[in-house]
Homo-oligomer: A and B are copies of this chain.
Amino acid sequence: MVRLGRGQSPLGYAEAQAPRFVRELQEFVRMPSVSSDPAYKQDLGRCASWLASHLRRIGIDSVRLIETEGHPIVTARIDVSPSKPTLLIYGHYDVQPVKPESAWRFPPFSAQISGGHLFGRGAVDDKGQLFAHVKALESWFRTQGGPPCNVRIVFEGEEEIGSPHLRPFLEKYRQELKSDGAVVSDTQMRGPGQPALTIGLRGKLAFDVIVDGPAKDLHSGSFGGAVRNPAEVLSILVSGLHDREGRISVAGMYDDVRVYSLTERRRMAKSAPRAAELFQAAGVEEGWGEEGFTAYERISIRPSLSINGISGGHQGPGTKAIIPAHASAKLSFRLVPDQTPERVADLVTKHIARRCPPGVRCRIAIRESAPPVRIDRGSSIVKSASHALERTFGRTPVMLPSGGSIPVVEALDSLFSLPTALMGFALPTDALHGPNERFELKRFHQAIEASIRLLDHFSRTAGRLR
């Protein structure tokens, strides 16, 4: 084992280089890599090239930029010894959209530092967390000539749009990517100073509901009262997706939802955030949701359905006296074991079709899907991540399911049976997906430390290539 203490160790190097690491992360965050908007396509390409060059610069000579039909994947393999285990590190360099920009304290791609935080879209989701692993690898390269185990890198640019081209990539490069464990840092901690390992992710099914009415926008004086209004029909359709008990009112929705025993729920409740904590992080005074479940259960072990956007008719300032020709809403389910996106897509399509009134046409367009996953707590990689977090934060990480979705985890499991550790460094207050997303610089450095420690522990304890 190499010395992990201060001095000419990886940890000492990381500490000494901290200010430069932050400047590099700023450069990374300044690239507007919004994967869902075609207007940013070139920026995604530039961001991927920057990342590939950066990996080469820190000493990795096998970096490849793999083009897909969408945005490129940056991949690399570092082979140190056939007797050592192999760790797959996954991250994503794409980010969520930023509108409305007016809600941001600093421009979303300015990577401004203020009050010990780096502000910017992607600061923590996921550029900051991805980059922590990159800087951990650099620290190993610069002090020890390389990491203590073999490493496979997969940095993709389509996580925020459901990773549509990741599975074909994993299938094609199955041989090269063969590993003994994977680490994904794209989840949250339990709270400040309280590390967590995520042991479950909800799946996702994103779709649009589109209502088409008159051939063109109509004068609402001349036709108001005699013609079906698509915006009103849309409202009726989407407002009817929950019942009065907060349950999703799509027939069959709960058929495949796994039921947890009271014992399991009690155990989870011990380490889960309280409702008040969640509401404070959300900035709401009061919660809402499915009756019979706690706030935390509602966002982790129960499915949910959110309207992510709704749009129709006049959008600008002022008034416009029309009956709009169209209206549409963007919605997404979060799914839990043992639901499948395919079955739920079928159920909701039928639900909408049955409720579409005469005088308009209603349809559904599926945009993204990912199945839910459960994590094996007993794997080497989870044990190494737990050790690394405990040493870094001085506290045993809690193990909790999370409400988010990361398509790669299910793919690694179903394709390679590869155990994954979800070792996240975001806080609920970091405004992921919202305006003023941020990452605390202290936590960025802790993430680097945890990654350095993870590599060390995994190299010493994990089994070799299966």
Contacts and interface: CB of A to CB of B under 8 A. Distances in A.
B359 A286 contact: yes
Given A218-B433, A223-B299, A405-B221, A320 B334 contact: no
Contacts of A305: 224-225
Given A217-B433, A218-B282, A232-B242, A320 B97 contact: yes
Given A227-B282, A283-B214, A220 B308 contact: yes
Contacts of A324: 307-309
A267 interface: no
A51 to B, nearest CB: 22
A403 B222 contact: yes
Q: Which of A229, A236, A433 has the most CB of B within 10 A?
A: A433
B334 A221 contact: yes
A231 interface: yes
A321 B206 contact: yes
Interface residues of A, number: 103
A120 interface: no
A299 B225 contact: yes
B428 A285 contact: no
Interface string A297-332: 011001111111111111111111111110101101
A239 B242 contact: no
A35 to B, nearest CB: 8
Q: How many copies does the complex hold?
A: 2
Contacts of A317: 36-38
Interface in A65-122: 96-97, 99, 103
B313 A315 contact: no
Interface stretch (A136-144, A255-263, A287-295): A287-295
A290 B225 contact: yes
Given A225-B298, A313-B308, A216 B334 contact: no
A226 interface: yes
Nearest to A435: B216
Contacts of A97: 314, 316, 318, 320
A436 interface: yes
Contact of A161 (B241, B318, B332): B318
Contact of A284 (B227, B238, B311, B329): B227
A170 interface: no
Contact of A219 (B287, B298, B404): B404
A45 interface: no
A287 B359 contact: yes
Given A216-B431, A310-B234, A319 B242 contact: no
A338 B436 CA distance: 51
A432 interface: yes
Contacts of A278: 223, 226
11 contacts: A37-B317, A37-B318, A97-B316, A222-B404, A223-B282, A225-B306, A225-B334, A228-B287, A235-B239, A284-B359, A314-B330
Interface of A: 35-38, 96-97, 99, 103, 160-162, 188, 202, 204, 206, 213-229, 231-232, 234-236, 238-242, 275, 278-279, 282-290, 295-296, 298-299, 302-325, 327, 329-330, 332, 334, 357-359, 367-368, 402-405, 428, 431-436
Given A96-B322, A202-B221, 19 more contacts: A36-B319, A99-B315, A103-B325, A206-B321, A217-B434, A218-B283, A220-B304, A220-B332, A222-B428, A223-B278, A224-B332, A225-B302, A226-B298, A229-B306, A231-B329, A235-B236, A288-B359, A309-B320, A313-B330
